[in-house]
């Protein structure tokens, strides 16, 4: 039986229908209105859901449950959001209860990193694995853990904050207020900042102050020494953090998604080298280090997997 999958992000809303074999029958996406409050966003999302159900050729009564991926921290036991860094009004919001009331369905929800981890484990790159670390590297860095076939959420539903693991003592200031976090060393804005600082210091480069985003820097890395060094530094920081996680958790697979993860070998080669250098040899030797297979829809598939598995 099909389930409804919903993804609430700071820039995009998405609704789809997922079947038990991992097929996305239909999906509808729209840009998130950054000024809309939760009731308005949920009304838009449920409208999209009805459209997706029609496109999938099923009826609402065919749905057995709904799963939600939410782009921020959640308190899993209560089904409430903690906050959202991109949208107003989501502090301590009863998201699970509200969607269940509006949709007339049983609802399971989790944060987007956990949902993506479950999606890639159930239907993506880590299919068949029982111990998986999923990491998303984009504007920020987050992670989800599947241990012994189940999501691991931690005591307060806050497990997976890999972006705030220290990798550069006394390093760049992070959005969390501390210095040297992985997110401040290797996320998209951190790469852009490092490129800008190098340019301001007078290092020669084909990059310019107006075109040195993480994407620009990755594209230039094959022929530009400054860009190559910036990407290598980011990749090494990621690899150091991942090696620590691998040493602690001994996963079968580490799956990396997000926009920055698509940078190519300028990021992946130093990342793999650092994992090998700092990881326990036996754990690293047996490790599968993989790009996400479901792309931007890892979390949407994960929302479906939440609903199917609960």
For the chain, the structural domain boundaries read 3-119+297-309, 128-292
Tally the residues of the chain: 310
The CB density around residue 296, as the number of other CB atoms within 10 Å, is 17
Spatial distance between the Cα atoms of 263 and 60, rounded to a whole number of angstroms: 40
Least confident of 80-94, 99-113, 192-206, 228-242: 80-94
Q: What is the mean pLDDT of the chain?
A: 95
Assigned superfamily of 128-292? ATPase, nucleotide binding domain (3.30.420.40)
**Continuous segment of H or E residues that includes residue 143:** strand 141-147
Query: Is residue 133 within 8 Å of 116, Cβ to Cβ?
Result: no
Query: Is residue 180 within 8 Å of 170, Cβ to Cβ?
Result: yes
Query: Is residue 42 within 8 Å of 5, Cβ to Cβ?
Result: no
Q: What is the pLDDT of residue 83?
A: 85
Spatial distance between the Cα atoms of 132 and 290, rounded to a whole number of angstroms: 11
Would the pLDDT of 42 be above 90? yes
pLDDT in tens, 49-58: 999 999 999 9
pLDDT in tens, 6-20: 999 888 999 999 999
Q: What is the pLDDT of residue 70?
A: 95
Would the pLDDT of 87 be above 90? no
Spatial distance between the Cα atoms of 197 and 238, rounded to a whole number of angstroms: 20
Q: What is the pLDDT of residue 284?
A: 96
Would the pLDDT of 310 be above 70? no
SS3 27: strand
Angle between helices 225-249 and 265-278 (to 10 degrees): 40
Number of separate helices (H) and strands (E) present in the chain:
10, 12
Spatial distance between the Cα atoms of 120 and 126, rounded to a whole number of angstroms: 6
pLDDT in tens, 126-166: 999 999 999 999 988 999 999 999 999 999 888 999 999 99
DSSP state of 142: E
Domain 3-119+297-309 of CATH type 3.20.20.70: no
pLDDT in tens, 264-290: 999 999 999 999 999 999 999 999 999
Least confident of 78-87, 154-163, 189-198, 293-302: 78-87
CA distances from 42 to 36, 37, 80, 101 (A): 10, 9, 14, 11
DSSP state of 262: G
């Amino acid at each position: 039986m099909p389930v409804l999958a919903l993804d609430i992000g700071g820039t995009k809303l998405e609704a789809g229908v997922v079947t038990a074999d991992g097929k996305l029958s239909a999906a509808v996406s729209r840009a998130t209105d950054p000024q809309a409050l939760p009731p308005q966003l949920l009304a838009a999302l449920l409208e999209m859901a009805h459209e997706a159900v029609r496109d999938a050729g099923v009826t609402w009564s065919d749905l057995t449950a709904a799963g939600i991926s939410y782009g921020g921290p959640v308190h899993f036991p209560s089904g409430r959001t903690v906050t959202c860094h991109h949208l107003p009004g989501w502090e301590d919001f009863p998201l699970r209860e509200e969607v269940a009331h509006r949709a007339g369905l049983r609802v399971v929800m989790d944060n987007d990193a956990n949902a993506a981890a479950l999606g890639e484990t159930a239907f993506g790159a880590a299919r068949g694995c029982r111990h998986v670390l999923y990491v998303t590297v984009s504007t920020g860095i987050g992670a989800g853990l599947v241990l012994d076939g189940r999501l691991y959420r931690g005591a307060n539903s806050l497990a997976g904050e890999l972006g705030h693991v220290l990798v550069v003592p006394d390093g760049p200031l992070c959005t969390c207020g501390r210095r040297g976090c992985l997110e401040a060393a290797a996320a998209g804005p951190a790469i852009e900042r490092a490129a800008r600082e190098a340019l301001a210091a007078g290092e020669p480069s084909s990059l310019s102050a107006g075109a040195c985003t993480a994407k620009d820097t990755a594209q230039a890395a094959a022929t530009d020494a400054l860009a190559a060094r910036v990407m290598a530094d980011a990749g090494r920081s990621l690899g150091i953090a991942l090696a620590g996680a691998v040493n602690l958790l001994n996963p079968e697979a580490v799956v990396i998604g997000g926009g920055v993860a698509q940078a190519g070998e300028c990021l992946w080669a130093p990342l793999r080298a650092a994992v090998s250098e700092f990881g326990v040899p036996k754990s690293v030797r047996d490790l599968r280090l993989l790009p996400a297979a479901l792309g931007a829809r890892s979390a949407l598939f994960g929302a479906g997997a939440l609903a199917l598995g609960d």
